[in-house]
Amino acid sequence: MTAPPLPKLQSVPPVVAAVADYEPLARERLSASAWAYLDGGAADELTVADNRAAFARLRLRARVLRSFPPGSGTACEIFGLRLPHPILLAPVAYQKLAHPDGEIATVLGASAMRAGMIVSTQASVSLEDVARAAETPLWFQIYIQHDRKFTLDLVRRAEGAGYRALVLSVDAPISGLRNREQRAGFAFPPDVFPVNLRGLAPLPQATSMSLFDNPLIAAAATWKDVTWLRSQTRLPLVLKGIMTADDAVRGLDAGVDGIVVSNHGGRVLDGQPASIDILPEIADVVAGRAPILLDGGIRRGSDVFKAVALGARAVLIGRAFVHGLAAAGAIGVAHVLRILHAELEATMVLTGCDSLAAISPDAIRGDSSRSHAGISGDDPVH
């Protein structure tokens, strides 16, 4: 018989020294079904694993006897927002699965660390309620719904609630084949649902076994919808889910203001490369035209450093903060951010970088297998 979940922590235990230490604490405080949903990935979860392994393949160059003048630090600016560090919370749906307070606990933790937060369309708390609780900048993640008027209404709600940017997820026209969820028999509890989508009329029932004949595919967003959405708002528009240089260029040509290099945390299409492996080629074609962000596999402040070195302006964390949320609510979220920030600072000092702008590709060494994307032996990345 499976033991019931343990109660949430009210303080951070001394055993938590790194972000990874929250994972077992979270797992024992969630049902097997909720854990399968929140932590699982698509199919064999190869991409989930590679998102982590790819960071481990990258090595850092230590530089010594460097000075750090007044004003040194991790400050970051995106779309006119001055943030104390380049670590934002990724959009994660249905956070009440992790904690009874859901996105409210998350935004309180983010506010404590002045971290930007991206609120999911599929949040389990309304976008307005999250905004009212926030003391930190919010962006709103959106999927283009089959009802374009409903989509535009969501945009207007986000604008009215004070959100500072729109993040359009473009890599999930369908849900991934998440076998771990299937094996766990996952089903949403009745009190967890996408409250922001109340009133959205359902699609017609599928009449064919073929996915290509499904109304969901017929209504899926295309590049025309990106152009349409760009024309409908003055907020910065960021495309999330870009994994090829061609798509990055096409997005910029459509007028988007930023790119998130992301494989959706390995939750949609298994077998994709790690997002950090794709970052250099996208940074090369974007060539400074727009800020690039990255998510997927970040568990250390040194991972944040590596992403910045290879072309990211900032990073998004997902599972890392969810583990903190599931274990200890707002306190856990804030502590995860604090750990990553402290580790980023330490990595910068030990590599001789006094600002994010000082972190260059030369800070990265190739792994011993000489196989990382674009990196050969001990040669600097260019």
**Catalytic residue annotation:** 264
- Tokens matching residue 49: 């694993």
Q: Which long-range contacts (CB under 8 A, 24 or more apart) does 75-78 make?
A: 75/355, 75/356, 76/313, 76/314, 76/356, 78/116, 78/258, 78/291, 78/293, 78/313, 78/314
What are the angstrom distances between the C-alpha of 272 and each of 85, 241, 244?
A: 29, 12, 11
Q: Cα–Cα distance between 175 and 271 in angstroms, integer?
A: 15
Residue 209 CB burial class (10 angstroms; 0-12, 13-18, ≥19): exposed
Distance in angstroms between the alpha carbons of the first and the last residue of the chain = 55
What are the angstrom distances between the C-alpha of 323 and each of 89, 299, 338?
A: 12, 11, 14
Nearest to 122 by CA among 135, 140, 137, 104: 140
- Tokens matching residue 329: 């609510």
